[in-house]
Amino acid sequence: MSLVLLVVFVVLLILNVPVAFSLAIASLASVIYGGVPLTLVIQRMTNATDSFILLAIPFFILAGNLMARAGMSQALIDFADSLVGFIRGGLAQVNILTSMFFAGITGAAVADTSAVGSVLIPPMLRRGYDRDLTTAVTAASSTIGVIIPPSIPMVIFGVVTGVSVGRLFLAGLIPGILVGAVLMAITYAIATRRRYETRPPPRLRTIAHSLRRSILALLMPGIIVGGIMLGVFTPTEAAVIAVAYALLIGLFVTRTLKPRDLPSIALDTAKTSAVVMMMIAAASLYGWILTRERIPVHAANAIASLTTDPALILLLMVGVYVIAGTFMDLGANIIILVPVLFPITGVLGIDPVHFGVITVMALSIGLVTPPVGACLFVACEISKTPMLEATRMMLPYILGLLALTILLIFVPQLALWIPNALM
């Protein structure tokens, strides 16, 4: 039964059957083969979507879509500019800091790339920033979107493993800020070598002025993170509040959101959510059969017979994630790999939240590697840069992200300090 499950899945995946259907069809085939009641297929897939935690996914997607239309991007960019625009390679630094602000608003990295990239890439190119650096910085910094809360991949990880999504969110806070800092340092080094210009530091008045203009957008991550931190809201409730907040700002404050836009935004959100949730539904069915066949236990035993050093095993897993990430989407990878890998970490006493942050960080590298890196792809589209040209420039950033992931393996406190102190 397990052989049917794995072989059918891999064959369908290679044939380019969508991941959700590959998982569901492989499960159906093994259910038929194993003589389990077929009703299981509909039952498990429906039950998986019938979940209050999962409601966070459409709401965070909707909040991100609404916020992007609420026209706050420019104000956020101006605020970032007043803070870091004076550093060498100013606009590239602004790009990274704006991505960090956006990371606190949206839960998906690609949304970050398109929101920040479409506003910042054109002025960067006009001001003489090289195409490859502009593209690489935009793509690399948008990976912060899935690390700083809210984060849809963290919700998926939480649903697949049963780990608290609130704790996962909080655990991403310090690593996310570190990613931003490392990317800024790399950018500074490149900007120095390329002799980009600097300008005098801003006056406090400029910062205060741009802060006042962007405060409404900056409050949103504050509400989401603060609410979860203080234990006031669950992630789903925080997502609902984010939607209501974005609606209020877009409709009544900036007024760039028109009521007649709402149906198309709702429809688009439903489609994006359905793609993710169909995968989760099918993975739940697939995972049920995996567990029934005790495959994770066999895998855990096999690995434990090689080594029982947690750090070594985590390094091995990061290797698997990085390779898998170059072939497939972040969410799909979590859905496919985590059900098998998670029980192994449990046996070795690795903290589940720590493992969650490592998983999301390592897989997020796949967002910026060719050929399927969605963030790299979108950034190249906007800057009209061939992917190969941008990829060379990506290399220092990819190495930076990888180094941070490995640092996180050896210093779990970077992830665990905030959630352990607060929850």
Backbone angle region of 335, left / alpha / beta, with phi > 0 → left and psi within -120 to 50 → alpha: alpha
Of 126-134, 154-162, 172-180, 355-363: span binding other proteins (CB under 8 A): 126-134
Shortest CB 2 distance to other proteins, Å: 20
Asked if 97 and 142 touch (Cβ cutoff 8 Å), the reply is no
Q: What are phi and psi of 226, to 5 degrees?
A: -60, -45
Which stretch in 158-166, 258-266, 293-301, 303-311 sits in contact with other proteins by CB under 8 A? Answer: 258-266
In the complex with other proteins, the residue whose CB is nearer, 120 or 289, is: 120
Kindly state the smallest distance separating residue 58's Cβ from other proteins, in Å: 7
Question: Contacts by 293-297 with C-beta closer than 8 Å and gap 24+?
Answer: 293/1, 293/2, 293/5, 295/2, 295/340, 296/339, 296/340, 296/342, 296/343, 296/344, 297/343
Quick one: which of 87, 100, 108, 390 contacts other proteins (CB under 8 A)? 108
Which residues 267-286 are close enough to bind other proteins by CB under 8 A? 267-275, 277-279, 281
Length of the chain: 423
Helix (H, G, I), strand (E, B) or coil at 312: helix
Which listed residue (36, 118, 315, 389) binds other proteins by CB under 8 A? Answer: 118
In the chain the first and final C-alpha atoms are separated, in Å, by 41
**CA dist., res. 184 & res. 363, Å (int):** 21
**Should residue 387 be labelled a site residue for other proteins when binding is judged by CB under 8 A?**
no
Residue 273 CB, nearest distance to other proteins (Å)? 6
Task: Please give the residues from 185 up to 224 whose contact with other proteins meets the rule CB under 8 A.
Answer: 194-197, 199, 210
Rounded least distance, CB 233 to other proteins, Å:
8
> Hey, how many other C-beta atoms are within 10 angstroms of the C-beta on 263?
9
Angle at 208 between CA 205 and CA 214, to 5 degrees: 145
Q: In this chain, which of 30, 65, 99, 214 binds other proteins, going by CB under 8 A?
A: 65
Residues 324-343 that bind other proteins (CB under 8 A): 327-329, 331-332
# residues near other proteins by CB under 8 A: 106
Q: Where are the alpha helices (DSSP H) in 249-329?
A: 262-292, 295-306, 310-327
- Positions in 151-180 near other proteins (CB under 8 A): none
Comparison of 245 and 355: residue with beta carbon closer to other proteins:
245
87-106 residues in contact with other proteins (CB under 8 A) are 89-91, 94
Where in 223-242 is the site for other proteins (CB under 8 A)? 232-233, 236-237, 240-241
Nearer to other proteins, 85 or 175 (CB): 85
Q: Are 90 and 199 in contact (CB under 8 A)?
A: yes
Query: Applying CB under 8 A, does 140 fall inside the site for other proteins?
Result: no
Peptide bond just before 235 cis, omega within 30 deg: no
Of residues 2 through 61, those in contact with other proteins by CB under 8 A are: 12-22, 24-25, 28, 38-39, 41-43, 45-46, 49-52, 54-55, 58-59
Closest-CA residue to 61 (of 153, 195, 125):
153
Contact by Cβ (8 Å): 359, 319: no
What one-character DSSP code corresponds to residue 253?
Answer: I
